[in-house]
Structure 1
Amino acid sequence: MTFAQEISALREMFTTIRDERRTHANTATRVGSAFLALLDYLADAPFIRKDMEDTDGFLLKLLKGAVIGENGDIKLNPDGSITCGSIHVNGSAIFDELVINHQNVLEGDTYFTDRGIVESVEHTDINQYRLTFRKEYDDDHVTFHANDILLGKVNNLDRAKTYRSFWLRVESVDTDSNSALCTLYPGADCPGGINSTPVSAARVIRWGNTVDETRQSVWFVSSNDGRWLFLQGVNKPIVEDNEHGSNYAGFIGLPPDIEATRDLINRGVLSKSQPYLYFKGVLAQDFIQVDYLGNPVYQFRDCGQWSASRKYIKGYDELNKGYYVDRVWWGGCYWECAVPECSGSEPRFNNTDWVCIIGGGNMWISLVSSAGNFFRAGEEWTTDLIATVYNAEMQLRESEIGLASITWLRESNDKDGDMAWNLTHPTGSVGLTLTVSSTTDLPSTWQSGSKVGFRVIVTFPDGAQYAAQYSISN
């Protein structure tokens, strides 16, 4: 009898008792029988029990959700979400979307390669094992190939959090049974000289391949070593790194102790505690170099001869996406831009827009007489000794010389007369042009055929001195 039929029969029984009109018709027997029928129904009724364990064989709809457990930590919410403290999955978990609210932590080494979970291990022969891999869904099949090198790590579950590793070479793969026949490597062929036997529930990854070069690379991140590591040409468990070649193709993070970094670390060029990027080649649209303080390192850009119509910079170039400092050639010197931007500012001595990096110390003075270079004794004459200061090929203006002091000295065989003349021409008292008269500026001995010389000395604020001398003879 169905649930609806049982309810209908009970309803008819109670209706008959209720509607009975004959005196003494509803005896205790009839009423008792009705209650007993009700109790029998309740004993077998398909309701969820509150006083004992129960099973419901039909779909149960909890429209307002549910709270499970005495502490109420597990909640099935009306919006379809589940709130709980932890989830333990014996098999596989498939998520259409995974949202991590706070943080995700990867402990140990995380590999990006073929992998599998060992369901069972069968020891078929000496050093040979048949590994059957767990299927995480119906169409899941192992992706290992023959000659693949497999690495498995098993947590020893001890206080020190140690683990043991096992290394296998795949001999053959059976996709129907999702299994692989493997050979155990000798301990001497494994890192550390020790190899363990495979166990069920272990996760194994493809480390490399003994033959197929397309399967001899592995890319993984190690939280223990603090680096991302990319290996190539891996054809055995032990990684090679010597003068004949290296499996280390690149890394991001703390530098490993390999041939490519060992000498640089020993010489202090690299630090074992600082992260680096190492690859055979790097392709980048924008490359910005900074120092250890985070300040940009400028790239020098030779712009050829200076042009008044061009803009020069020391800073970030929006067009070329990098930090540059422009350099130009001008007046026989090599100049470097010293300001964020300048245009039409000629590179010259004392121009703070530019710094002279080649030729700046090549100062010299040209001293020329306006009246020629030969004068007769007994004749009166006057000439201007014109001193011109040059920076390489560039003539300096008097305004550029600025605070430099100019000193004129007379030198002849009349020492007392020279000293008296020098006192009348103290440092800075005259400019770069000196007027010399035969009647006032020459010693008396000059008339008898001696020589007299005039020296100009230019002293710049930094202490640098430059001099030139002109001799007058008759």
Structure 2
Amino acid sequence: MADTFDILRKLALQVRNATLAGENSAERIGRTFVGILDLIDGLKNIYLHKNQPDETEFLIKFLAGGEFGEFVDSMIAGKGAGIFPDGRAQVERLEVRGSLSVLDLIINQIQGMESDYSFTEIGKIESVEDLGENTYRLSIEKRTDFDFMKFQENDVCFSIINTLLTGGSEYYTSWMRILATNAQENSITVVLYPDSEVPGGTNYPPLAGYNVTRRGNSTLPEAGGSNERAQSWMISSREGRIMFLSNVYKPILEDYNYSISIGRFPRTKALEKLPISENETGVMAQTVIAEKFYQFDYNGDVIPSKVDRGIWSLETAQSGAPYRFVQHELAKPSGSEYTLLEQHTVYHLGCKWGCLKDKTTDEPKWNSPSWGLLEGDSRYSLQLSLSGGEAFVIGGVDTVMSGRIYFGTTDITDDVMADGATEVEWFRDSGNVPADNLWTPEYVDGNRLAIHIDNGNQHGVGSDFGFVSRSVAFICRVYIPVEGEMQQIEQRFGFDIL
């Protein structure tokens, strides 16, 4: 504005001077018009035009912001471009030919990735110089003044090239090994691998504008050593897997290179021995260490994990690593459902037992609610024996018949008879039904599994045994309470005189 006032002041002085000089009206008017034209010419050098292109070498401040095109402020229905006084800018599309630096990047919650993503050294090829004999010098673009490429000699590198810029949809891969690096020029000298040494059987030269990244390093380590540059992380949407590759010394991968593979299984020889195709997904790793492992069958049911704890001992049961029976409870309106996840197994008394109560200190045995028999003889049996042998003189029978109860090969007599719910029955079968019905057992010292047998009719073989009756048998039946049910076992012992 100061410059405008100066021009107006000069114009007024010209008119005053013309009047003092005695000029007539026509002369003064002419001089005024000339002054106005000079004023307009002077304003052109001060203000920017609204009706024609213009420029200035000086700083222009838009304190209230600015709008470009037909601007509508909206992230969804907006258009045009606008800059606000608080520094916020809104545009339709932002194209950055160099680098983009931000302190905080807020983007769409869903992100997509095409092709491959490499978690190793990477650089953008700025220019390519063909040195002949499949050798190239690649200049790597510097994103900042202090950005230097980190490639090293013998790195196994590749660059994925597409034809999208020319309207195509094909992808090619250029495989190369670094011969030399030049930190001052930020360049690398590479040699292409022969077609026979790359995946797909055909190699392609590198092109400017595309990224190059390291997959491994061709330097073989000494015996017992390792080459850290021969490993890398890769995410590939083309292959459909996340990989950690190790011991990569050349472009074509071997089975041992896949330290970890998550997603679609790679083509390895191990898959040929399993009912798994390369289209199936899963996890393949050289070593797996996990606290929990769940397995399902083809019906979707959980297969419990059986953990062998060896020989049972009370010391182990009371230790900080007790025997486990791990279940998952799922509450439903109809009630709770339980899924067995882990069961510890032990060996005891010649049998294999499975834990049924988490962290139990009970001993595994036939009637323990904390253990179930998994392997071994689970049959209950009764064995009868005589105290004086099985040879008798006619009229001289005087013996004690005793019974022992077994679970498999384990004698459980004391446990069974200590249970007040156990029932024992004795019968005599001599062929004389009336006499047998009158027969009653004579227990020895209150032991229901031991009876005294003599020649009498009431407690023995009968007074006519050996004279009229040539055979007599005694039957013992035992009813054992097992898990709310009565388990019946029976044994018959006969006396015969030939």
**Offset of 1:444 from its aligned partner?**
6.1
Pairwise CA distance, 1:229: 2.0
Cα deviation digits, residues 425-472 of structure 1 (max 9, x gap): 9xxxxx965867731464565243845222335578999864434445
Q: Is there any run of 5+ residues in structure 2 with no aligned partner, and where?
A: 73-78, 222-226, 329-340, 441-446
Q: Kindly provide the amino acid, as one letter, of the partner of residue 314 in structure 1.
A: F
Q: 1:46 to 1:256 in 2, by over 3 A?
A: same
Paired with 1:10 and 1:160, the residues of 2 have a C-alpha distance of 64
Distance 1:141 1:331 in 2: 72
Identity in percent: 25
> For 1:311-337, what per-residue CA distance to the aligned partner results, in whole angstroms no more than 9, with x for missing partners?
7542289xxxxx753445666654333
- Name the residue aligned to 1:10: 7
Q: Is the 8 A contact 1:166 1:196 kept in 2?
A: yes
Q: Does 1:446 align with 2:465?
A: yes
Match of 1:108 in 2: 115
The 1:359–1:149 alpha-carbon spacing in structure 2 relative to 1, beyond 3 Å, is: closer
Q: Distance in 2 between matches of 1:68 and 1:52?
A: 16
Cα gap change, 1:197/1:332 in structure 2, threshold over 3 Å: closer, same or farther?
closer
Cα distance in 2 for partners of 1:137, 1:309 equals: 65
Task: Give the equivalent residue in structure 2 for 1:66.
Answer: 66
- 1:261 match: secondary structure: helix
Shift of 1:126: 3.1
Letter in 1 for 2:294: V
Deviation at 1:278, TM superposition (A): 0.8
Write the distance in 2 (CA, Å) between the matches of 1:294 and 1:76: 60
Match of 1:287 in 2: 291
Q: Is the 8 A contact 1:370 1:386 kept in 2?
A: no
Paired amino acid for 1:277: M
Contact map agreement 1:305 1:328 (CA 8 A) in 2? no
- Cα 1:393–1:305 change in 2 (3 A) is farther
Instruction: Choose which of 233, 239, 248 in structure 1 pairs with 2:258.
Output: 248
Deviation at 1:98, TM superposition (A): 2.6
TM-score of the pair, normalised by structure 2? 0.72
Correspondence for 2:209: 201
Q: How does 1:21-100 map to 2 (within 5 A)?
A: 28-29=29-30, 31-33=32-34, 35-47=36-48, 49-72=49-72, 73=79, 74-100=81-107
2:354 maps to which of 333, 336, 343: 336
- Greater shift, 227-236 or 26-35, is seen at 26-35
Amino acid at match of 1:254: R
Q: Report the Cα offset of residue 374 of structure 1.
A: 8.4
Using the alignment, how far apart are the partners of 2:438 and 2:347 within structure 1?
A: 43
Change in Cα spacing, 1:458 to 1:87, as seen in structure 2 (3 Å) is farther
Match runs of 1:222-237 below 5 Å: 222-237=236-251
Question: Could you say if the C-alpha distance between residues 201 and 159 of structure 1 is closer, same or farther in structure 2, counting changes exceeding 3 Å?
Answer: closer
- Is residue 325–residue 342 contact of structure 2 (8 Å, CA) maintained in 1? yes
SS at 2:55's partner residue? coil
- Is residue 322 of structure 2 the alignment partner of residue 315 of structure 1? no
The question of 1:176 aligning with 2:184 is answered: yes
Q: Does 1:163 align with 2:171?
A: yes
2:200 match: 192
SS of the counterpart of 2:432? helix
Structure 1 residues 382-426: Cα deviation after superposition (integer angstroms, max 9, x where no partner): 978656454624344368696x99775645xx5x4369948999x
Distance 1:333 1:353 in 2: 15
**Residues 373, 240 of structure 1: alpha-carbon distance in 2 compared, 3 angstrom cutoff:** closer
* Whole-Å separation in 2 of the counterparts to 1:419 and 1:201: 113
Deviation at residue 288 of structure 1 after TM alignment: 0.8
State the aligned residue count.
445
Query: 1:92 deviation in Å?
Result: 2.2
In the TM superposition, residue 290 of structure 1 has moved relative to its aligned partner by 0.9
Within 2, Cα distance between the matches of 1:380 and 1:212?
93
1:261 maps to a residue whose letter is L
Cα distance in structure 2, aligned partners of 1:354 and 1:18 = 122
Tell me the TM-score normalised to structure 1 length.
0.75
- 1:51-108 per-position Cα deviation (integer Å, ceiling 9, x unaligned): 2233343333333433333354333333433333432222222333333341221211
| C-alpha RMSD of matched pairs (Å) | 4.6
Cα 1:197–1:390 shift into 2, 3 Å: closer
